[in-house]
Structure 1
Amino acid sequence: MLKDLMWLGLEWDEGPNKDGNVGPYRQSERTDLYLKYAERLLASGHAYKCFCSDEELEAMREEAKAKNLPPKYNGKWAKASNDEIEAELAKGTPYTYRFRVAEEGNVKINDLIRGEVSWALDTLGDFIILRSNGQPVYNFCVAVDDATMKISHVLRAEEHLPNTLRQVLIYQALGLPLPKFGHVSLILAPDRSKLSKRHGATSVSQFKDMGFLPQGMVNYLALLGWNDGTEDEIFTMDQLIAKFSIDRITKSAAIFDNMKFRWINGQHLRSLPETELIQMCGEFWEKSGLLSSREGSFVEDAVHVLKGSLEVVSDAGKCLTDLVSYPLEESLCSLEVKEIVDDNLKEVANAILATYDTGELQKAYESGHEEWQKWVKSVGKSMKRKGKRLFMPIRLLVTGKTFGPDIGSAVELLYKAEASGILNTKAGLVTLAERMERLKKINWDNVSEKIASLNAKSPENAAALIH
């Protein structure tokens, strides 16, 4: 947890690894302090020793269950005499320390988020603060810790509200000042169930490994149950610190939306200095086995072309493999391309192949963005096509896809990948020559007929388009 907090950039004023004057900061090192306060409660009559066995406690639970009542300690040892206590001690009977709860009355707090919260004491029963092995329980530890460390505000999830009652009673019995409590709503999954592993990643380290940035994560988590009163959604850490106020925290449950999280992270990712983004993507490509080396300008060129599609660093893998792949046959089996096919796509394919045979396409491919644009215009002029009727079919036939980065930039990067040999086989690079050979094999007489009968992409249907 400490590593996660440090990665997120959430620094603490004092605590583990940053000592102050109220340490030690690990509960395992504070046992003597807890025993001191437990003895104080025992001496004041706010706590007592309970010698009940596990069997006796189970019998109490069963009796309450039979009466349709919540389980509650029956107070057997609450009024025991000194002689009775000494007799059990002499026998070596294990015992716990129980906090003595009044049999009637209420406890109220003014929760910073939920307003007044009240509990009836007759539903609680005397509760354990020290186990029979001498170890203090959670509610006792945190009350002592918060008081001795002079904690002013306790902000936590609403599921801790029941614990607050016990902690307030301990504060009051010890004569210690209460902190201000605020209980925020839980973060729920999209189906409004409690967020769990079945909904995907649930730990900071998992999101880190997926390529999320600390600043993106802090930004998104801050917006789960809080806003600054504006429509703004992108904040730096300094902006969040300056704008945050408890009175803007909402009572309603927050819904964890992974798509929104990715979008916010993408805003932070693309706003990084380009040198930093180049370093991150280059490391990812090399580590994932797509890139044999980071030498030369390829990584920088690739990031420049692909960064508009990145939301998390790990997206860089799919973005690169998508760019160098050539799923033409699969795309031609999609109803999405019906309009392009119906507009005499065969004519454009033949024009492209003609320029490939003459060497014009290779020259444009190898000469950069400006020459590529000239080639596109030349192809369009030969068929009296322009605009969408020209650009969309060229994109489909050259890249195998109907969408992606600017095609001129994409083709230029594709050539650099091919010429440099920097990509490993795993990347799935399809060269220009391989693309044109596959394009030549398309049986255009079957394409329109096949598309008319398709409801979804299918490898079997794709195979039927070529012979």
Structure 2
Amino acid sequence: MSALAEDTAVDTAPVLSAQGSAVRVRFAPSPTGTLHVGGARTALFNYLKARNEGGKFVLRIEDTDEARSTRESEDSMVKDLKWLGLDWDEGPDKPGDCGPYRQSERKHIYADVAKQLVDSGFAYPCFCSEEELEAKRAEAEAAGRPPQYDGTWRDADPAAVQAKLDAGEPHTYRFKVPPGKVVAIKDLVRGDVSWDADSTVGDFILLRSSGVPVYNFCVAVDDALMGITHVIRAEEHLTNTLRQCLILDALGRARPQYAHCSLILGEDRSKLSKRHGATSVDQFRQQGFLPEAMKNYLSLLGWNDGSEKEIFTEDELKQSFDLRRVIKSPAVFDMQKLRWMNGQHLRALPDEELSPLVGTALVEAGICTDAQGEFVAACTHICKGSMELVADAVPQVQMMLSYPLVDTLVSEEAHEIMEDGFVDIAKAVLAAHEAGELTPASEADAAAQWKAWIKALGKTLGRKGKRLFHPVRVAITGAMSGADVGEQLACLRAAGGEGVEHVSLDARMAQLREWVDKQ
């Protein structure tokens, strides 16, 4: 039984007329796993190209690999793209004139186009069994020839071909590569690339004996019928371009402009993989990275605007993106750089946007139960300047709520402070607490009261700079470093007001008194 549909008729002219007008780009993932950061960068570059030039961004699901493609994978990829904020103009959930947008729903189209290629002499049925093909490959390799199909059925007697078709014998459909054909492209990233088609690929399969179309055939047909003007993808797809161009040429359709971006490498210069840590978009989302930071960082993996600028808003990326500034050398994924960049974007958020993120992290860590109270607001204000990830607030807040005085005082780090009269500072802090000087009359006056107190203490003791601030910090917080002590005290007061477990100022001073009494 023929794999070609005899009764299909697809009017492609109206769709193909879009070619050569407005920019139309596509992101076409195979739903066989999660969205890798390499795929996310490809999607981002296509998205920015479309938005920069007022074009259309198409989402196409390439799910003809029936054994591995799943709707669950497709749904997770769509979720990740939406989290990144890469909205598409046409896709499975946004029907347009070029649908359907899942390849599994376009089989009748591929069958019709294959029939057109057979009728025009660019394709033919091949009745070789898998055993015969394997024998031919082994023979070619033994003779030192490329293991390509030898054209057994390329110019077979039409009557013999028809007899086998009538008998329902299993067969594939192969593309007839023109003798001496050279395919050349001017890649927007890699420059001039060319192939000797006949010696490189030979007559390749378009439709399997099951009627399932092969990857390159689907891609070429879809790019043509969807009016794709630019194909931006990873360099590993460069070798697919030869077959796709041959099919497009045979269909009389204009080729899109190609841009093959280099691979993303790990810091050891090998291809980025799971052994380098997180590689999927969802993993980075779960770790607390912001979508704005991910877009910013991914955009700079192989592209820059010609300046030293590193922090971009999405609007700035849309305005600046140009394929001519994509370089062909590999990009290295630097996790520390991503963390730093995420910190920059966190600090750029208004407190009213950052506070709920911090609050959620603190609630999930069991530190508090209210993600929007004064305690969370105080913690956000304190942690904002040092966070690279929202989760970084958790250990900082846990440290603020604790009072590791004893461990700190016996540490090597505290030796200099201990030798420089720490006992005198401790006694002065205890006296101030007993006099109520460390408890403000109101939160509105707290910051000014704290500054006035520590300034007066410095004059009384004849200390200034780190000889004053470091020992006071240790006495009140129990730690050698951290946020502004006055701000930490405000955080403790908020914790007390909301029932957050913590070592109160009274409990701290009791521990400090116990230590002083032993000296």
Per the TM superposition, whether the score is higher than 0.5 is yes
2:308: which partner in 1? Answer: 231
- Specify whether residues 333 and 156 from structure 1 end up closer, same or farther in structure 2 by C-alpha distance, changes over 3 A only: farther
Map of 1:316 onto structure 2: 393
Separation of aligned partners in 2, 1:103 and 1:169? 12
Alpha-carbon distance in structure 2 between the residues aligned to 1:111 and 1:372? 64
Deviations 1:205-234 (A, max 9, x none): 222222222222211111111111111112
> 169-178 or 259-268: which moved more?
259-268
Partner residue in 2 for 1:449: none
Which residue of 2 is the match for residue 413 of structure 1? Answer: 491
Whether 1:303 and 2:380 are equivalent positions in the alignment is yes
In structure 1, C-alpha distance between the alignment counterparts of 2:106 and 2:319, rounded to whole Å: 35
| TM-superposed deviation, 1:118 | 1.1
Query: What does 1:140-289 correspond to in 2, within 5 Å?
Result: 140-289=217-366
Q: Given the alignment of the two structures, is residue 124 of structure 1 paired with residue 201 of structure 2, yes or no? A: yes
Report the equivalent of 1:34: 110
CA RMSD, Structure 1 to Structure 2 (Å): 2.8
Aligned with residue 386 of structure 1, among 464, 475, 482: 464
Q: CA deviation at 1:65?
A: 4.5
Aligned to 1:109: 185
What is residue 482 of structure 2 aligned with on the other side? 404
Contact 1:352 1:361 in 2 (8 A): no
**8 Å Cα contact 2:293-2:342 kept in structure 1:** yes
The answer for the alignment partner of 1:43 in structure 2 is 119
For 1:416-427, list aligned pairs within 5 A: 416-421=494-499, 423=500
What is the match of residue 292 of structure 1?
Answer: 369
Aligned to 2:110, the other structure's residue is in SS state helix
- Greater share of residues in helix: 1
Q: Report how far residue 135 of structure 1 moved.
A: 1.1
Alignment of 1:395 with 2:468, yes or no, is no
User: How many residues end up aligned between the 2 structures?
Assistant: 440
Match of 2:46 in 1: none
Q: CA deviation at 1:296?
A: 4.3
Q: Deviations over 1:271-326 (max 9, x none)?
A: 22322222332233234432122464222222222211223333332332232233
Q: TM-score, normalised by structure 2?
A: 0.77
Equivalent residue, structure 1, for 2:3: none
The answer for unaligned runs of 5 or more in structure 2 is 1-76
Contact 2:186–2:258, Cα closer than 8 Å, also in 1: yes
Deviation string 1:426-465 (CA, Å, 9 cap, x unpaired) is xxx333344345546669999xxxxxxxxxxxxxxxxxxx
Taking the aligned partners of 1:445 and 1:171, their CA distance within structure 2 comes to 88
Residue from 78, 87, 91 that aligns with 1:15: 91
1:16-54 deviations in Å (ceiling 9; x for gaps): 222222222111111111111111111222112122222
Aligned to 1:458: none
Tell me if structure 2 keeps the 8 A contact 1:364–1:375. no
Asked whether the 8 Å contact 2:230–2:258 carries over to 1, the reply is yes
Kindly provide the CA deviation profile for residues 72-126 of structure 1, in whole angstroms up to 9, marking residues without a partner as x.
2232322322344345445543211111224534211000111100112202122
Q: How far apart are the structure 2 equivalents of 1:199 and 1:445? A: 51
1:25 maps to 2:25: no
Compute the displacement of 1:237 (Å): 1.6
CA drift at 1:389: 0.8
- Alpha-carbon spacing, 1:70–1:369, altered in 2? closer, same or farther (3 Å): farther
Does the 8 Å contact 2:374/2:494 carry over to 1? no
**In structure 1, what is the Cα distance between the partners aligned to 2:411 and 2:274?**
35
Please name the residue that 1:60 is paired with.
Answer: 136
1:75 to 146, 151, 154: 151
**Given the superposition, is the C-alpha separation of residues 138 and 331 from structure 1 closer, same or farther in structure 2, using an over 3 Å criterion?**
farther
Measure the CA separation in 1 of the matches of 2:100 and 2:319: 31
TM-score scaled by structure 1?
0.85
Identity of aligned residues (%): 51
1:395 Cα deviation (Å)?
Answer: 1.6
| Mapped contact 2:378–2:490 kept (Cα < 8 A) | no
Aligned partners of 1:187 and 1:254 also within 8 Å: yes
Q: Distance in 1 between matches of 2:509 and 2:452?
A: 20
Rounded Cα–Cα distance in structure 2 between residues aligned with 1:157 and 1:444: 69
Q: With a CA cutoff of 8 Å and minimum separation of 6, indicate the structure with the bigger relative contact order.
A: 2
* CA distance in 2: counterparts of 1:61 and 1:337, whole angstroms: 75
Deviation for aligned residue 1:240:
1.2
Greater shift in the superposed pair: 155-164 or 41-50: 41-50
Alpha carbons of 1:329 and 1:160: their partners in 2 closer, same or farther (altered >3 Å)?
farther
* 3-state secondary structure, aligned to 2:384: helix
Which position in structure 1 is the counterpart of 2:504? 431
**CA contact under 8 A between 2:356 and 2:372: conserved in structure 1?**
no
Looking at structure 2, the residues matched to 73 and 332 of structure 1 have their Cα atoms a distance apart, in angstroms, of 79
List per-residue Cα deviations over 1:379-437 (Å, max 9, x = no partner): 4445422111111122233223333222211122123213431x2x5xxx333344345
| In structure 2, distance between residues paired with 1:142 and 1:348 | 75
Letter in 2 for 1:186: L
CA distance 1:21–1:347, change in 2 (3 Å):
same
For 1:301 and 1:143, locate their aligned partners in 2 and report how far apart those are by CA, in whole Å.
57
Relative to 1, partners in 2 of residues 1:440 and 1:28: Cα closer, same or farther, differing over 3 Å?
same
Label 1:375 to 1:118 Cα distance change in 2 as closer, same or farther (>3 A): same
CA contact (8 A) 1:365 1:411 kept: no
Name whichever of 175-184 and 75-84 sits farther off.
Answer: 75-84
Cα pair 1:355 1:361 within 8 Å, conserved: yes
Secondary structure in structure 2 of the residue aligned to 1:182: strand
Please give the alpha-carbon distance, in whole angstroms, between the structure 2 residues aligned to 1:81 and 1:335.
Answer: 92
